[in-house]
Amino acid sequence: MSERVLPVGILGTGIYVPERVLTNRDLERMVDTSDEWIRTRTGIRERHIVADHEAASDLAILAARQAIQDAGISVEEIDLIVVATNSPDMLFPATACLVQHALGAKKAGAFDVQAGCTGFIYALACGGQFVATGAAKAVLVIGTEALSRLVNWQDRNTCVLFGDGAGAVVIGPVPEGYGILATRLGSEGAGGPLLSLPAGLSRCPASPETVANNQHFIHMHGREVFKFAVKVMEESCLEVLQAAGLAPEQLDFLIPHQANIRIIEAAAKRLDLPLERVWINVDRYGNTSAASIPVALHEALQAGRIRDGDHVVLVAFGAGLTWGATLLRWYDHHQQPFEKGDG
């Protein structure tokens, strides 16, 4: 998918992570693991965990307010809210509707997207279509997770990996030549059983047995997911570059899904991209699933690592199995004020 009508870009970003930090040392006291194992196998040192009163929408709302402020628009101008999450407050109403209400975004439509850790890439592609066709001028796209609620804290295979947080962006029209140049979305449903949360819905309704069998928690075959991830991260990056007629060496900065430092390093190596041009924060947040890309993007921008005109790729993989990449030519609206609708 590389077609576009109006150019669509990111006009503001924001993040929120819960205050509580859970270190590897804390985990050593909870399961049979070690700081050394977690650091060397995953690159994670610590992760943020929601407080008892917090859920995915609470994090999303705080990230969204920051993104709206950064974009310099008012809440009333938002036409649509798309929330990517695998840990919604509840199955319905959608987390996007909870966010819409809390923000007071009166004219906004709102819905959730669920595509594993690739959710933000899917949500961005989806929201982007509304802007590209002129159906919307300002879309709020959020990735938010409270996955700590869905993790079995007695399963060392998974509980050391995930963290909570939220990232939000406002997208809208940008000048010609800027914004999203290409998007690639992929899925391989045959790999679904490699990463799933099996019970609680129509296939396997909640029962005392499903609770006793830990079927309401995340189940993962880590090694297989790892192999899949390395392959699709490289392939989808190359595909979006090719779709936009760019050579791999024209990639300026990479924002990869933050699941495991070894996956990120392997992808960067395959793309022949020095790690200085890759944002890495998995050490501080763990895998925040659908939130990881917008959180990383916000931090890279704050650190001044992405400049106007840079070619930036966002790339992710996750449950489904799914994968996706978005190539943007970065538009720095702080540097170049642009009247909405001129694009």
Cβ at position 151, least distance to ligand ACO in Å: 10
**Cβ(13)–Cβ(297) under 8 Å?**
yes
3-state secondary structure of 119: helix
**Cβ(32)–Cβ(74) under 8 Å?**
no
Q: Does 338 bind ligand ACO (CB under 6 A)?
A: no
Q: Is 159 a catalytic residue?
A: no
Stretch that binds ligand ACO, among 47-55, 56-64, 168-176, 217-225 (CB under 6 A): 217-225
Q: Does 231 bind ligand ACO (CB under 6 A)?
A: no
Cβ at position 50, least distance to ligand ACO in Å: 16
Binding-site member from 43, 127, 163, 318 for ligand ACO (CB under 6 A): 318
Stretch that binds ligand ACO, among 71-79, 89-97, 184-192, 216-224 (CB under 6 A): 216-224
Q: Does 160 bind ligand ACO (CB under 6 A)?
A: yes
- Distance between CA atoms of 129 and 134, rounded to whole angstroms? 8
Q: Which of residues 278-297 bind ligand ACO (CB under 6 A)?
A: 287, 289
Would you say 125 or 131 has its CB closer to ligand ACO? 125
**Cβ(255)–Cβ(313) under 8 Å?**
yes
Cβ at position 287, least distance to ligand ACO in Å: 6
Would you say 229 or 297 has its CB closer to ligand ACO? 229
Which of 86, 260, 287, 333 does the annotation list as catalytic?
Answer: 287
- Distance between CA atoms of 322 and 220, rounded to whole angstroms? 14
Instruction: Take residue 152 and report the two structure tokens written for it.
Output: 């079995």
Would you say 118 or 129 has its CB closer to ligand ACO? 118
Q: Label residue 108 exposed, middle or buried (CB < 10 Å: 0-12, 13-18, 19+).
A: buried
Cβ at position 81, least distance to ligand ACO in Å: 22
Which of 24, 48, 159, 257 does the annotation list as catalytic?
Answer: 257
Alpha helices in 72-118 (DSSP H): 95-103
Q: Does 222 bind ligand ACO (CB under 6 A)?
A: yes
Q: Does 131 bind ligand ACO (CB under 6 A)?
A: no
Would you say 197 or 306 has its CB closer to ligand ACO? 197
Which of 117, 126, 159, 237 does the annotation list as catalytic?
Answer: 117
Q: Is 221 a catalytic residue?
A: no
Q: Give the β-pairing of 109-113 and 139-145.
A: unpaired
Q: Is 287 a catalytic residue?
A: yes
3-state secondary structure of 239: helix
Cβ density class 190-213: b for 16+ within 10 Å, e for less: ebeebbebbbbeeeeeeeeeeeee
Binding-site member from 7, 43, 116, 294 for ligand ACO (CB under 6 A): 116
Binding-site member from 246, 319, 325, 327 for ligand ACO (CB under 6 A): 319
Contacting residues for 238 by C-beta, under 8 A, at least 6 apart:
248, 271
Instruction: Take residue 10 and report the two structure tokens written for it.
Output: 């990111």
- Distance between CA atoms of 100 and 87, rounded to whole angstroms? 17
Distance of alpha carbon 302 from the chain centroid = 17
Q: Give the Cβ contact number of residue 6 at 10 Å.
A: 17
Report which secondary-structure segment, H or E, holds 139: strand 139-145
Contacting residues for 209 by C-beta, under 8 A, at least 6 apart:
none
Stretch that binds ligand ACO, among 46-54, 126-134, 225-233, 301-309 (CB under 6 A): 225-233
Q: Which of residues 18-37 bind ligand ACO (CB under 6 A)?
A: 33, 37
Which residues are part of the catalytic machinery? Answer: 117, 257, 287
Name the residues that contact ligand ACO, by CB under 6 A. Answer: 33, 37-38, 41-42, 116-117, 156-157, 160, 195, 220, 222-223, 225-226, 229, 259-260, 287, 289, 318-319
